[in-house]
Structure 1
């Protein structure tokens, strides 16, 4: 009998929605959410948990881990939308926002190789400074950290599972997480810009590794025993307390608090681990709250929203690029971001994830002239829609800046 799988967890998309909203409001300069930058750390913990859960389930059901298939899935999920963003940003910078084009070449290369975080460190690029027009691709540092994790962690984890007991693997994850958090504390210099420890893969491993640790120790969906009502209530209490703690982090901490770099990130990771543990338990009620459709809608598009919000925000600076300020500016920025994200999700992410490109190529290479003609028509239609979408977005940004 096949063992139950984790499956799709809409509540985790709900948590992603909370995280990306926090990041957007922080970048919009909303004063009551000074810790919005911590939303990225929540993404890290969720990613560590999900990736490790997928690896463990594949090994349980097939006896092995197909790394090539894993990396292809990740590439199909992440690369097309990123490449589309890079194309649009480069075109916009060359044609309209020429002051942003100077360092764009290096930023694009760093993005393509997923080393943007180290590139920013090398250039001493502050994450928190807002002088002039910030680089349009500064935000890609976090995608670089995650992709480096996706490349290195799975083969090491697979090798460890072959040779080491799971208990020792868990101990190793704890030790490395503590070491990463300790390195952050050591490298952090009070009263100076903390961007080095904020960007560094070495100082940000704890989030992903604590998520991975949870995956190795917690899989309640596999249990055949229904949770007792008292246990479910306790879990909901833990989940509610964890969510409130997350809200406190987002609303009370700022980027220059020494606390956050001297154990605060690790404490936040623990809060996220507790919250995720509750959300994936089938008996909890709080998971149903974060699984509400409007929240999940945002969470499903959180990757595209994160990709597009930063460059849109940086070409709609108040009183510099655009005459709007305050709430009207925020509404415009969010509208442009959601529009661009939805176009990316519908026209790029979904087709690539569903294998549409492979099916189209097979039709294009078909021996049947009718099938090939239909494939060419589909390609021209899709290309036209994509070009129009890019032009409309560019025109919208250009009009907003005048």
Structure 2
């Protein structure tokens, strides 16, 4: 079962990331769209793994990883193949390292490459895919262990881990420095943890519309180049509240359409941006339309074919489900 409002939230995430990368004046904090995706992924994946563990007593890890690869890798492979073919002509600035960049993206290691060897290439944005893939490798082992504590205690432990990693991220620039503050998985996986906590212990707070307004205000009014460390925790908490209580506005059909093809849009928007200027409104509009078309083609011609019969299912009632007793997690994320 699809949840229309969460497709709409994916649309908000991808449109804000695209606007940020296009240097549009109203999207100084649009990079936080990536963190919206992280919270959603943590919530969805942990919910599925927890349900499987409680239903069968274990997690079929090879089957889980196969589903994830079938969902993500074919579309990425199409992008990488196209990039390798056209880079000498369309991307001469990065053509000499195209094989290395494509290999690290294919192996989901771009975030580690950016940590030790930062480089601006048409594939740099695949760092976020690497963070999620590394999460997928670890999480089928972590969730069954967490559930031995019970859902409530496990959720509280994840919140404590979120606080500790957030604090470590503040201290990291002074201790180590470098691009790892942004790209190193433990330092940027906090949204995945907070979404996972929500999946294990749904909250009863009904603040979705206010949280969405706050989230949009942050992405519009704050420059993440200057304030990323400070606004990221606030954006993650706001996203959790939106997922817990999705506003009806997000179910607007055009947003649903964009949200359903957001993965392909994310894959293709940076390579397109390298060859499409966005200095004027018509140019920016052309970029958004081209990315939407690319995302739709990816979803219709690649993703749907490979996930037919094997896609992930969202269980009815999961977001916003109210527990029998108000959870103490409300105080932690509300």
Shorter-chain TM-score above 0.5: yes
Q: Is the 8 A contact 1:17 1:302 kept in 2?
A: yes
TM-score, length basis structure 2: 0.86
Question: For the structure 1 residues 96 and 272, does the alpha-carbon distance in structure 2 shift closer, same or farther, using more than 3 Å as the test?
Answer: closer
Q: Is 1:181–1:266's contact at 8 Å kept on the other side of the alignment?
A: yes
The number of aligned residues is: 308
Aligned partner of residue 93 in structure 2, secondary structure: helix
Tell me which residue corresponds to 2:130.
144
Partner of 2:188: 204
Tell me if 1:326 matches 2:326.
no
Q: Are the structure 2 counterparts of residues 62 and 10 from structure 1 closer, same or farther at C-alpha, using a change threshold of 3 Å? A: farther
Tell me the equivalent position of 1:375: none
- Counterpart of 1:30 in structure 2 is 24
Of 40, 46, 54 in structure 2, the residue corresponding to residue 46 of structure 1 is: 40
Question: What corresponds to 2:295 in structure 1?
Answer: 341
Q: 1:219 to 1:266 in 2, by over 3 A?
A: closer
| Matches of 2:203 and 2:192, distance apart in 1 | 17
Gaps of 5+ in 2: 311-334
Shift of 1:33: 1.5
The 1-side partners of 2:154 and 2:88 are apart by 49
Contact kept in structure 1, 2:6 and 2:250, CA below 8 Å? yes
Assess if the C-alpha contact under 8 Å between 1:118 and 1:199 holds in 2.
yes
Aligned partner of residue 99 in structure 1, secondary structure: coil
1:72 aligns with 2:66: yes
Pairing 1:197-346 to 2, within 5 Å after superposition: 197-218=181-202, 235=206, 238-258=207-227, 260-262=228-230, 264-279=231-246, 286=247, 288-317=248-277, 325-346=279-300
Once the two structures are superposed, the pairs formed by residues 65-104 of structure 1 within 5 Å of their partners are 65-104=59-98
User: 1:120-176 CA distances to partner (integer Å, 9 max, x unpaired)?
Assistant: 111134xxxxxxxx4010100001001111111121112332x43334322321222
Q: Deviations over 1:63-108 (max 9, x none)?
A: 4322222111111110000000000111110344333212222211
Return the offset for 1:216.
Answer: 0.6
Of structures 1 and 2, the one with the larger relative CO (CA 8 A, separation 6+) is: 2
SS at match of 1:51: helix
Cα deviation for residue 8 of structure 1 reads 2.2
Aligned to 2:150: 165
Q: Verify the 8 A CA contact 1:243 1:275 in the aligned structure 2.
A: yes
- How big is the shift at 1:14? 0.6
Cα distance in 2 for residues equivalent to 1:247 and 1:115: 30
Report Cα offsets for 1:171-220 as digits up to 9, x if no partner. Answer: 3212221121111101236xxx9743121212112100000000111188
Matched, 1:108 2:102: yes
- 1:363 aligned partner: none
Q: Is the 8 A contact 1:34 1:253 kept in 2?
A: yes
TM-score by length of 1: 0.72
